[in-house]
């Protein structure tokens, strides 16, 4: 498994589970409401690092949604 070189900032749990290297570990982490940089939906998001960063292909060959 290779991690993507370009990483999104805000990732919802659905996208993080689908594209992340792992699920968040057993610790507290910050979540907030914002637009997910992967799917584009307004949801509860967290930093991509909580999912071990995302695997290659997470953006489908497109640029990050800002």
What is the reported pLDDT for 62? 63
Contact of 10 with 35, CB cutoff 8 Å: yes
pLDDT band at 8 (very low <50, low <70, confident <90, very high): very high
Residues 58, 11: Cα–Cα separation, whole Å: 11
CA distances from 36 to 1, 8, 18, 20, 26 (A): 23, 9, 13, 14, 22
pLDDT tens string 16-57: 999 999 988 788 889 999 999 999 999 999 999 999 999 999
* 44-13-28 Cα angle (round to 5): 80
- Would the pLDDT of 2 be above 80? yes
Domain map of the chain by residue range?
10-51
- Would the pLDDT of 7 be above 70? yes
């Amino acid at each position: 498994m290779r991690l993507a070189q370009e990483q999104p900032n805000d990732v919802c749990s659905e996208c993080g589970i689908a594209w992340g290297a792992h699920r968040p570990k057993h610790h507290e982490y910050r979540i907030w409401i914002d637009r997910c940089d992967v799917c584009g939906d307004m949801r509860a998001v967290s930093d991509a690092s909580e999912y071990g960063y995302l695997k290659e292909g997470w953006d489908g060959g497109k640029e990050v949604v800002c």
